[in-house]
Amino acid sequence: MNPADLGLPVDVPSTALFTDQYELTMLQAALRAGTADRRSVFEVFTRRLPDGRRYGVVAGTGRVLDAVENFRFDAGVLGFLRERNIVDEPTLQWLASYRFSGDIWGYPEGEVYFPGSPILRVEGSFAECVLLETVILSILNHDSAIAAAASRMSAAAAGRPLIEMGARRTHELAAVASARAAYVGGFTTTSDLAAGFRYGIPTVGTSAHAFTLLHDSERDAFRAQVDSLGRGTTLLVDTYDVAEAVRTAVEIAGPELGAVRIDSGDLLLVAHRVRQQLDELGATSTKIVVTSDLDEYAIASLAAAPVDAYGVGTQLVTGSGHPTCSMVYKLVARAQSADPKAPLVPVAKKSMGGKTSIGGRKWAARRADADGIAEAEVVGTGPVPTELADRQLLVELVKGGAVVAREPLDTARERHIAARAALPMSAIQLSRGEPVLPTEYA
């Protein structure tokens, strides 16, 4: 069964109104001026990484493809636009038959990126491309921010499993997207069942403090949970006294107890004490899971602790202080007429304050040293140098309006692990620094 075929509450029948009004008013003016059909190239990129970050992570590509396919102006949407007098009748008639028929190229999901990287390239008529700006940026800015935070956390965890637990800390639909992006960035499981149902991400979860408080004693709560879920369950041991809870947990579940979870206190100190106590009680295989407002720095500080897994919520779904990537969607080339054979002319905004852009339809490649470690992100508008021909980063995602590059989420996750591993070792340092690769323009 493919959950995507079921039409879940986390989906919407149309993404057409996930946009800013000026996209439609620009369309109306371009239709009236006779410029709407000019062949155009838009690119998504960021001028800088969030302060102190060494690399970015592309996430949300699969959701972008879904959004493009679902960008339809049905009767209800058109009625809303007509009632509000947002655009005129000729524009409404044009929108009624809207289907994106162009091409989209981009960095594959899970790939890393740097300032100036042409993360996504959208080609078609101005009219059909400009409408997609807001929804594309909405998805990529959010998902890439979460994936970047997840990547830093998974690097800090150094192979220990990470559980995404942020559903209660963000919008219910953002929670599903966050769980997906976190999985791309290196998390192993999620507590969010909608994310598991929609995207096939492994789900986990056992009990909260409320379950312990419900019962007349902690022993009664542990007994009820073990009777229901088995000895391999995870018992939450910090509701009252941790040492007493660990003792009770092992008495009830025996050495087969799956894990204990610690959600408060000095996690480094408590983890060491709990590990010693579990070993003394013969529960040497019982694992320790820690939660409690963790971020990448807290995870790194627990590297020497006997911790087996981390649960992360708030800091993950808020991008660990950087909830957006500041990506933009800019027109970089357009034809001088509506003639399909008219050549493309580079265009670029000229502005003060670091908001300039570079015109021209771009390619991107990652140059590596003799050991295969990346040393530069190379971006150009002319012919691709021979030595970089097999190092190009953009892949075809949509051809003639049809999606051609759907892939399992695990593929994006594995791609990210490989892409991060190919960066210089300083990429995973948590100390503040510049992007680990320079961007060179050819």
HEC profile of the chain? CCHHHCCCCCCCCCCCCCCCHHHHHHHHHHHHHCCCCCEEEEEEEECCCCCCCCCEECCCHHHHHHHHHCCCCCHHHHHHHHHCCCCCHHHHHHHHCCCCCCEEEECCCCCEECCCCCCEEEEEEHHHHHCCHHHHHHHHHHHHHHHHHHHHHHHHHCCCCEEECCHHHCCHHHHHHHHHHHHHCCCCEECCHHHHHHHCCCECCCCCHHHHHHCCCHHHHHHHHHHHHCCCCEEECCCCCHHHHHHHHHHHHHHHCCEEEECCCCHHHHHHHHHHHHHHCCCCCCEEEECCCCCHHHHHHCCCCCCCEEEECHHHHCHHHCCCCCEEEEEEEEECCCCCCCCEEECCCCCCCCCCCCCCCCEEEEEECCCCCEEEEEEECCCCCHHHHHHECCEEEEECCEECCCCCHHHHHHHHHHHHHCCCHHHHCCCCCCCCCCEEEC
- pTM: predicted TM-score of the whole model, two decimal places: 0.94
Pick 3-131+326-441's CATH classification: 3.40.980.10, 3.40.228.10, 3.20.140.10, 3.30.300.30.
Answer: 3.20.140.10
Please name the residues in contact with 5: beta carbons below 8 A apart, sequence gap of 6 or more.
Answer: none
pLDDT reading at 3 higher than 70: no
Q: Mean of the pLDDT values across residues 383-402?
A: 97
The predicted pLDDT at position 53 comes to 94
- What kind of architecture, by CATH, is found in domain 155-321? Alpha-Beta Barrel (3.20)
pLDDT reading at 210 higher than 90: yes
The predicted pLDDT at position 5 comes to 52
pLDDT tens digit string along 29-53? 999 999 999 999 999 999 999 998 9
pLDDT tens digit string along 334-349? 999 999 899 999 999 8
The predicted pLDDT at position 7 comes to 47
Sign, CA torsion 340/346/349/353: positive
pLDDT reading at 184 higher than 80: yes
pLDDT reading at 2 higher than 60: no
Q: Mean of the pLDDT values across residues 316-323?
A: 97
pLDDT reading at 256 higher than 90: yes
Domain boundaries, the chain: 3-131+326-441, 155-321
Token pair, residue 379, equals 């971006």
pLDDT reading at 10 higher than 50: no
pLDDT tens digit string along 394-434? 999 999 999 999 999 999 999 999 999 999 999 999 998 99
pLDDT tens digit string along 129-160? 999 999 999 999 999 999 999 999 999 999 99
- Give the whole-number percent of the chain exceeding pLDDT 70: 96
